[in-house]
Amino acid sequence: MDKPIPAEADFTGLAGHRFPGGYYTVAHWENALLTECTGATLLPGGRVHPVALFHLPITGAGTTIAEMFALGQAESDLSIMIESYDWETFLPLREEIRYSVCGGIESAQRCTNPAGQFYDRIQFRFEVRTPEDALAARTTITWHYTRNTL
Amino acid sequence: MSVAVGDRIPEWVMDSVCPARMRTMAALLRDPNPLHWDRDAVAALPLGLGRRTINQGPLGLSYMINMLHAWAGPDCLRRINMRFPQVVLDGERVVARGEITALWDDNGETLAECSIWLQHEERGVLLEGTATVVLPKGGA
């Protein structure tokens, strides 16, 4: 049975939602596993592979992928489609550094695809800062919450 | 490094996208989506993908970063923006490719804007986007 589509006002009202914020430290073991998953070798000097810019901001901001799915009232885990990932880096990430992270929902919109089907679009934005409060990275995740298409 | 607009970035090849790596990644990311570790869940979708798991978006994106690192060094990345027109499936051979579209100097650094994409021989472009990269000294 199809899950009801959230009311448009409820959905667009997600804009401005803030996650609790917090901290994240990439341990050496985690960087080693992440890097191996990419097919690369460890970067020199304790640099963290930038692939960490997906989960580091999410976890550090005090949320989870599952919560981000739930906020948009995803029909299921399978109904989420990626529009884009936009990662800006201002300083190389390093292992064992305690980064502070803040983030939230930048925009939430109801859209229609060329086939006339509704979908909802959320843009999440996160900022990652060093212990000295220098901006190290900014990431934007844009997902589509498809409705009744699977 | 001597480069010009229109130059191609040396390609980076992932010979076979590995389902075990997707499972490790799912655990590290705390990603509950079964598309990355359950072939039956993928087969049940009305998408005709067969019994193959779908690579995480960040992993496909990481192949583009590996290409850029191999070309311009581990601190080169300033920005990457990727779109995901097609999924990447386990067992596929994919090639990260790119081309310089603009060059400029900023505060003593040479920056390159690049068009980048992840290509499969039969299915075409799977990921596409742009990257801004700082080039090693002596570039352009």
- pLDDT tens-digit map of B38-50: 999 999 988 889 9
Diameter of chain A measured on Cα atoms: 53
Q: A108 lies in a domain? A: yes
Q: Are A23 and A64 in contact (CB under 8 A)?
A: no
Sorting pLDDT into bands at 50, 70 and 90, what band is A114?
confident
A10 to chain B nearest CA, in Å? Answer: 25
Q: A3 lies in a domain? A: no
* Identity of the residue in B29, B46, B77 whose CB atom sits nearest the CB atom of A54: B29
DSSP state of B140: -
Sorting pLDDT into bands at 50, 70 and 90, what band is A149?
low
**Number of structural domains chain A divides into:** 1
> What pLDDT score does B129 carry?
98
- For A88, the closest chain B residue by CA position comes to B79
Q: A1 lies in a domain? A: no
- Tell me: the pLDDT tens digits for A63-102? 999 999 999 999 888 889 999 999 999 999 999 999 999 9
Sign of CA pseudo-dihedral B42, B31, A58, A10: positive
Give the pair of three-digit tokens for residue B34. 């079964």
Give the pair of three-digit tokens for residue A103. 């983030």
- For A89, the closest chain B residue by CA position comes to B78
- Tell me: the pLDDT tens digits for B79-124? 999 999 999 999 999 999 999 999 999 999 999 999 999 999 999 9
Domain B8-18+55-134 sits in CATH at 3.10.129.10
Q: What is the pTM of this model?
A: 0.94
Kindly state whether A4 is in contact with chain B, defined as any CB-CB distance less than 8 angstroms: no
User: Residue A12's domain is classified under what CATH number?
Assistant: 3.10.129.10
Kindly state whether A66 is in contact with chain B, defined as any CB-CB distance less than 8 angstroms: yes
Q: A2 lies in a domain? A: no
- For B128, the closest chain A residue by CA position comes to A84
Of B122, B69, B93, B96, give the one whose Cα is nearest residue B12.
B96
Contact assignment for A65 to B61 by CB distance below 8 Å: no
> What pLDDT score does A78 carry?
82
Q: Is the ipTM of this complex over 0.90?
A: yes
* Identity of the residue in A69, A87, A150 whose CB atom sits nearest the CB atom of B46: A150
d(CA A147, CA B1): 49
- For A39, the closest chain B residue by CA position comes to B14
Q: A137 lies in a domain? A: yes
- Tell me: the pLDDT tens digits for B50-65? 999 999 999 999 999 9
- Tell me: the pLDDT tens digits for A12-49? 999 999 999 999 999 999 999 999 999 999 999 999 99
Q: A87 lies in a domain? A: yes
Kindly state whether B129 is in contact with chain A, defined as any CB-CB distance less than 8 angstroms: yes
Residue located via tokens 């914020």: A21
* Identity of the residue in B30, B34, B129 whose CB atom sits nearest the CB atom of A77: B34
Q: Which domain covers residue A86, as residue numbers?
A: 8-146
